[in-house]
């Protein structure tokens, strides 16, 4: 294996781990904002109990997102120095704005949000929660702008292989940006929604704080009933946009190797084993014309076939094809569970309907799988390009990087991530299993203002109160 392949594996590995946490905290921050707002409006302690519970989950997830994110901000320089040197003029400013407008905002208000409930007035505390939530969304805006520009570059001036900014407005609002941003934010919200709904179903079945669990489940169903269908529509729009700007990626998603006779349309391939070297599929099961209908919204619409470009310009078809089906499949399951839940709720049998609860529980973590699959579709589908049509991934890797060095770092990341994320997910699972506690102390500035805050870990109080402290 050479430094290029190892660098690609390493990048895919560290970013796949990283993205799970920001995606989860984007949704979770808005959920916390909603809970605290409800508490402030109603002064019903249940809302605050839920806030405390989910803020502990948030603290662990955010911590893991931060430490894995720092790796990302240096990864471009260590392994992809040619990309940084050539496109740094464009990508650097976008990432700088992410730090200035989002990371500092999140970090600055996170401390007060997690540890300062008794140190500031309740409305100020809500403001801090809002700033953290806003920070996660602003962060999404900038990072998606940078990624989208690499997929559909425009607004730049290319001189001697170096990209320089020509029109910042065109760079940020590039053709795929709005679709990608909406698709990603919805995906993040839905991922969080299913973790909340799945946890609620788990608690309902296990008899943990049933009142709070039912509240969470109903909110998840209501949100899912809007967001999941919206995501299906959004995904369709994003697909049309990709077909327009990256048609070969769509061909890879569909394992569409050869153009059919005129007017025959494109079939929808349900199952196949794509063979990259022979440019064909084995064991193909396909429905004629349905592909055309979905992709082009007409029965005889054509899409570009993979063989219309040289083999060296084709993305790896098998992983793109499979990942796309995983993403869509999970989306369909989510739609099914949400529809069944609405039906059960309408019939007034929500808490008793075992299949609905089981469905939510099964799909608790499905959002993460769909999210990763979606990113793999879009990122592997753009290969062999890192800046679409302009800079190949193979030309972007750091020169003079020895394979042994990258192998060592990849092994280092693998070991460290296994320890860190293994432990983190274990602690998260333990926290979720335990469930919310009734009767948490709500913010009441004035009573404890003279005593300094008890920061420790944002999520640790309960464990320590159990007598874990030596």
Partner 1 sequence: MNAADLMLTTADGAAFWLPVAWLGVIGFGVLMYVLLDGFVLGLGILAPLSRDSGQLDHMMNTAAPIWDGNETWLVLGGAGLMAAFPRAYALVLSSLYLPVLAMLLGLIFRGVAFEFRFKGRGVARRAWGAAFSLGSIVAAFSQGVILAALVQGLPMQGGQYSGGAWGWFSPFAVMTGVALVGGYALLGAGWLILKTEGPLHEQARGWARPLMVAVLAFMGLVSAALPYLDSRVMARWFEGSNFLWLAPVPLLTLAVGWWLWRDASLGKGGQRPHDARPFLWTLALFALGFAGLLLGIWPYLVPPHLTVWGAASPPESQGFVMWGLVFLLPLILGYTAWSYRVFRGKVTVDAGYH
The HSE-up count of residue 76 (CA atoms within 13 Å, CB side) is: 16
Count residues contacting partner 1 (CB under 8 A)? 86
Could you tell me which residues come within 8 angstroms of residue 35 by beta carbon, excluding any fewer than 6 positions away?
47, 48, 50, 51, 54
Q: Round to whole Å and give the CA distance between 259 and 312.
A: 19
d(CA 95, CA 76): 11
Buried b (16+ CB within 10 A) or exposed e, 8-26: bebbeebbebbbbbbbbbb
Q: Report, in Å, the least distance between residue 184 CB and partner 1.
A: 20
Interface of this chain with partner 1, residues 378 to 397, rule: CB under 8 A: none
Contacts (Cβ under 8 Å, ≥6 apart) of 99: none
- Lay out the site mask for partner 1 across 160-199 (x = CB under 8 A, - = otherwise): ----xxx-x-------------------------------
DSSP string, 185-218: HHHHHHHHHHHHHHHHHHHHHHTSSHHHHHHHHH
Q: Measured from the CB of residue 345, what is the shortest distance to partner 1 in angstroms? A: 36
Q: How far is the CB of 53 from partner 1 (least distance, A)?
A: 15
Segment 420 to 439, residues that bind partner 1, using CB under 8 A: 420, 423-424, 427, 430
Q: Which of 160, 263, 399, 439 binds partner 1 (CB under 8 A)?
A: 399
Least distance from partner 1 to the Cβ atom of residue 297, Å: 39
- Residue 457 binding partner 1, by CB under 8 A: yes
Span near partner 1 by CB under 8 A; candidates 231-239, 250-258, 292-300, 401-409: 401-409
Q: How far does CA 133 lie from the centroid of its chain?
A: 15
Site for partner 1 in 14-73 (CB under 8 A): 59-60, 63-64, 66-71, 73
Kindly tell me which residue out of 12, 40, 78, 210 binds partner 1, with binding defined by CB under 8 A: 78
Site residues for partner 1, window 84-123 (CB under 8 A)? 84-85, 88-93, 95-101, 103-112, 114-116, 119-120
**8-state DSSP, 443:** P
* Closest CB to partner 1 among residues 248, 458: 458
CB of 13 to partner 1, least distance (A): 14
Radius of gyration from C-alpha coordinates of the chain: 24
Nearer to partner 1, 53 or 376 (CB): 53
Beta bridge partners of 163: 158
Can residue 285 be called a binding residue for partner 1 (CB under 8 A)?
no
């Amino acid at each position: 294996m050479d430094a290029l392949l190892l660098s690609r594996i390493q990048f895919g590995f560290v970013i796949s781990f990283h993205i799970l946490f920001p995606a989860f905290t984007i949704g979770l921050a808005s959920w916390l904002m909603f809970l605290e707002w409800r508490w402030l409006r109603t002064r019903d302690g249940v809302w605050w109990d839920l806030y405390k519970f989910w803020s502990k989950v948030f603290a662990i997830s955010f911590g893991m997102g931060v430490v894995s994110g720092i790796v990302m901000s240096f990864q471009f320089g260590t392994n992809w120095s040619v990309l940084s040197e050539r496109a740094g003029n464009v990508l650097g400013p976008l990432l700088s704005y992410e730090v200035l407008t989002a990371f500092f905002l999140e970090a600055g208000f996170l401390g007060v949000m997690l540890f300062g409930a008794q140190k500031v007035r309740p409305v100020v505390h809500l403001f801090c929660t809002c700033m953290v939530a806003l920070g996660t969304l602003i962060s999404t805006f900038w990072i998606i702008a940078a990624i989208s520009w690499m997929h559909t570059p425009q607004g730049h001036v290319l001189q001697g292989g170096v990209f320089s900014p020509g029109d910042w407005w065109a760079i940020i609002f590039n053709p795929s940006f709005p679709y990608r941003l909406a698709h990603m934010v919805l995906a993040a919200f839905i991922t969080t929604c299913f973790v909340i709904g799945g946890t609620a179903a788990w608690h309902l079945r296990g008899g943990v704080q049933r009142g709070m669990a039912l509240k969470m489940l109903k909110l998840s169903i209501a949100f899912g009933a809007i967001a999941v269908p919206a995501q299906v529509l959004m995904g369709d729009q994003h697909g049309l946009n990709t077909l327009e700007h990256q048609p070969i990626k769509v061909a890879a998603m569909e394992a569409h190797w050869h153009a059919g006779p005129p007017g025959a349309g494109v079939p929808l391939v349900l199952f196949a084993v794509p063979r990259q070297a022979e440019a064909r599929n084995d064991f193909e099961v396909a429905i004629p014309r349905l592909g055309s209908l979905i992709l082009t919204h007409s029965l005889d619409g054509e899409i570009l076939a993979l063989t219309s470009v040289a083999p060296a310009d084709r993305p790896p078809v098998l992983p793109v094809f499979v990942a796309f089906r995983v993403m869509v499949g999970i989306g369909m399951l989510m739609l099914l569970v949400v529809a069944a839940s609405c039906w059960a709720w309408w019939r007034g049998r929500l808490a008793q309907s075992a299949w609905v609860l089981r469905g939510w529980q099964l799909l608790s973590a499905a959002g993460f799988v769909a999210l990763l699959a979606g990113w793999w579709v879009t990122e592997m589908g753009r290969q062999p390009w890192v800046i679409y049509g302009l800079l190949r991934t193979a030309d972007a890797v750091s020169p003079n990087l020895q394979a042994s060095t990258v192998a060592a770092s990849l092994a280092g990341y693998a070991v460290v991530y296994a320890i860190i994320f293994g432990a983190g997910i274990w602690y998260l699972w333990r926290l979720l299993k335990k469930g919310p506690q009734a009767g948490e102390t709500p913010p009441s500035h004035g009573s404890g203002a003279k005593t300094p805050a008890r920061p420790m870990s944002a999520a640790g109080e309960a464990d320590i109160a159990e007598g874990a402290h030596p």
